[in-house]
Amino acid sequence: MTDDSQAKLAELKAQLVALQGSVGLSSVTDDRDDVVAKMARLDEQFNKLAESGYAHLQPLKARLTAVRSGWAAAQANIEAQVDYFRKKLDKETQRASRMMVSGQSGDGGDPLAAVEEKIGSLGDEIKSIESQFSDWLSPFTGALYGIENEANRAAWSIEEWSETAARPGPGESLLMAAKAEWVVSGRDKDDPDGVLYLTNQNLILKKK
């Protein structure tokens, strides 16, 4: 085997080792585990919001319940697909390893070209599978991201509300707060910043 062939073989070996690290679809299972972990974190966040006196959690809880129900229905199929593709990729990787041995021994007309083609094909297949799983998980990750954003905004609103001198009236509760600017001069640098509070009864602007 020529020096060029030896160098090419070493390069292909490195590529195969890198692919073998992806056969377990760890990026997919990490994303799957993130979905489960985020649902648990949202439960904890909802409990903290309830303890802080936030009275409008029900819509967020209903959305999380819907996501959890959808996840329960899809999870078994996702797990089955992960197992199927892991086994399939493992077989393909073993085949590439055998082809590598054949190339090393100099069998066949142009064994290195065949190995290179096989490794390239395997890499493309792994990317395609990861993309497919990403598409399957996307509705869940997207929905959870939206719920988390609203929960974070509610937590920030409660914190800001607690720092004001405003006291809620009978039956009044905070819906949300937002950063605002008290326009006096029309010049941004001269106008004081504030926070706009929306309750179930009032709209209140407080200067910082």
- 75-128 pLDDT, tens digit per residue, is 999 999 999 999 999 898 888 888 877 765 555 556 778 888 888 899 899 999
* pLDDT at residue 188, as a whole number: 58
* pLDDT at residue 169, as a whole number: 79
The contacts found for 172-176 with CB under 8 angstroms, 24 or more apart, are: 172/199, 172/200, 172/201, 172/202, 173/53, 173/54, 173/55, 173/56, 173/199, 173/200, 174/54, 174/55, 174/198, 174/199, 175/56, 175/199, 175/200
* pLDDT at residue 187, as a whole number: 61
* pLDDT at residue 189, as a whole number: 63
CB 146 within 8 A of CB 154: no
Give the number of other CB atoms < 10 A from CB of residue 196: 16
Parent domain of 199 = 164-208
How big is the CA angle at 56 (ends 52 and 59), to the nearest 5 degrees? 130
Give, for 163, the enclosing helix (H) or strand (E).
Answer: none
Judge if 86 and 118 occupy the same domain: yes
* pLDDT at residue 97, as a whole number: 84
Judge if 115 and 194 occupy the same domain: no
Judge if 149 and 170 occupy the same domain: no
* pLDDT at residue 108, as a whole number: 54
Judge if 41 and 104 occupy the same domain: yes
Residue with tokens 């090393």: 104
CB 122 within 8 A of CB 20: no
Judge if 72 and 157 occupy the same domain: yes
Judge if 141 and 204 occupy the same domain: no
Judge if 127 and 206 occupy the same domain: no
Judge if 58 and 26 occupy the same domain: yes
Judge if 142 and 171 occupy the same domain: no
Judge if 77 and 12 occupy the same domain: yes
* pLDDT at residue 104, as a whole number: 59
Judge if 68 and 107 occupy the same domain: yes
What letter does residue 102 receive in the DSSP assignment? H
pLDDT < 70 stretches in the chain: 1-5, 103-110, 165-166, 184-192
CB 173 within 8 A of CB 158: no
Judge if 76 and 177 occupy the same domain: no
Structurally, the chain folds into a number of domains equal to: 2
Phi, psi (rounded to 5 degrees) for 4: -65, -40
